[in-house]
Structure 1
Amino acid sequence: MKANYKIALRIIGGEKWLGGVSYIELLARAVSTLPPMERPELFLVAADSSLDDFYLHEHFLHCFDGIIYVGKDTTRASDQIKHPWIHCSSYDELSEKIDFYYPVLMDVLPHRCAASWIPDFQYRYLPEITSQEERLKLDLKYQEIADRAKLIVFSSNDAREDFHGFYPDSKAVTKILSFHVEPDARWYDVNPRDIQNKFGLPDKYIICCNQFWAHKNFEVLFRSIRILKDNGHVIHVVCTGSTEDYRVRDYFTMIKQLISELDISDQVHILGIISREEQIQLIRRSCLVVQPSLFEGWSTIVEECRALGKTVVLSDLKVNLEQNPQHAIYFDRTDAEDLAQKLKHAYLAAAGPDLEREKVARDNSVHLMRTFALQFSDIWQTAKQIF
């Protein structure tokens, strides 16, 4: 028996933003950990704009009690959704079937029981890598949310503080929902050496799991690797993630040129997009994970490092300090020398996995997932009082 409450989660991610897929997955998994009497019925909502990305959500559909399609092209929906689904021709009809909708944009159910989500304000801090058109679009979107939303969710206190600074007149209730990662038991059934060997990687390496986007700060990382080489420390770096930045289209070309100029091509192993399962195993096998970003929201990779008990070398962003995984080492994100020193000392550790750390992290994850689920429970309970 479940709690007598129906929640709909909207598909927000896709091939161009896998982070949105992960966000909904982690939230659905957290809700599914609640005891039956506390757990609401959970539905995944697809619309015409997200049908092509539905397949990316297949692997966690078991966390949902049903699928809802909102739209009129039922033939296309049947082609894309190979599971039983409920049809709603409009969002008004959807609102009659569910009690809470998340995350919502202001053109959908602005007056219904729902909450909006703002992940971060990167475009405000790094306007040089965001087009004027996109900055204007985000300004209008967030201004409308600030003006019209009754309930807004943020992944960090850092983002919420930014919101209140940028939109001091907003009357919305604001809440924090900091997501966490639940380790999958199947992660530990694989020998990570097999994945390392599959990609022909050296026995000892560090890993950076970032898309090649301009704000990810690969320049500082690779300059630090050159500094270490000059001092007799040859460190191999494995990079996973997309090599396309839709905002700075020649960024990857610039990075490849930098790697060549620094004469570290034989130390940098760029794998591109690989499966999450393979990425997890390469993280386990690595000596450490490095995240040199100039800006982040609440980071999925950092949470995966927490869930694996992994050492992670992080840029000194406020949100990284707030996220604060147990085995974090922080460096000045503008200083390649500082990063080089931090990497050198952390690299002295043996290649993974560290089975003792992994066990402690798995045990701790139970509490973290409970906290995550209860934070979301507080949000929908708050929504019931507001609307």
Structure 2
Amino acid sequence: MRLLRWLLLVAAALCATAPACAERIKDLGTFQGVRGNQLTGYGIVVGLAGTGDDSLDYATQGMKGIAARFGMQLPAGINPALKNAAAVMITAELPAFAKPGQKLDITVSALGKAKSLRGGTLLMAPLNGADNQVYAMAQGNLAVGGLGIEGADGSKLTVNVPSSGRIPGGATVERAVDAGFASSPEILFNLAEADLTTVRRVADAINRSVGAGRARAMDAVTVAISAQQGAEFRTALMGQIENLPVDPADAAARVIVNARTGTVVINGAVRIAPAAVTHGKLTVRVDEKPRVVQPGPFSNGRTAVEQSSALSVDEEKHPMFAFQPGASLADIVKAVNAIGASPADLVAILEALKQAGAMKADLVVL
């Protein structure tokens, strides 16, 4: 037991003296052009157990198109009842550097009034990019996590969302996307969040690793890196750069308030100038206790209801508390907890501190 306690003390001491862990450059942003692309498509799911679209026009047209693909022409004026088929939208993400023949996971969602896609099979459908070019073909059996049942009397039971499902590896890449980084004049690295200090530190880290003057900060987001042409050389250089450690700048002081849920998040950079705060709550209570008044026997009186109201006012009084210069997040939490303030009360206190100029932080209301 003593040995375990001693080891815990040593570990705590090491954690206290160790420097803050630096972030890898790859965790701070991405190289321009090295990104995924969204794909969408329209298709027909068949094999449903009577939970399809029935006779919706676009589902009928889709089935006629599929039939025509196999050389079958439905007679004019005849619209099949498609209870076992459903029109669906297909979505997928084409990752960077995806090559023809690779598999993609796809999500299939009902477009019309299909009750469930459970047990369905997606017929071959093209997936298009933003340029309306076909980049993948999708087909396969759906995996649906939801369940929907309906009784003869109209009662229904639904678990999760049965009108949407996934097909792991359900699409095959047919065309690759040229990222363009191999022939561009420079390699551009973009931060996920704009920050002048962080972008300068990223440029300095790259210059220390690959040579002085190779990287320059163009603005608060982008670092331009000079490199010779060629995909092989640039791929190796980007792999070296993305693993370099960088100490990102401290986040800006910010208070996030979710007005719908009452959630309040305060980051550690928030500081409070000297200020005094008092907070109280006034509760007014009205109790109505009506009573029935009976007339005397053999009288001409009538039974009546007599109103009886009881009013009370309860005002909670809390002592004023003061924030010392440079009060931290821990001081704010301790003071607010001491007076028992609710999230709504905390928002009011923070707004008042900001209006008084005692809190230098961004107050963001979601």
Sort the TM-score into its range (normalised by shorter chain).
under 0.3
TM-score, with normalisation over the residues of structure 2? 0.23
Higher relative contact order (CA 8 A, sep 6+): 1
Q: Please identify which structure carries the higher strand content.
A: 2
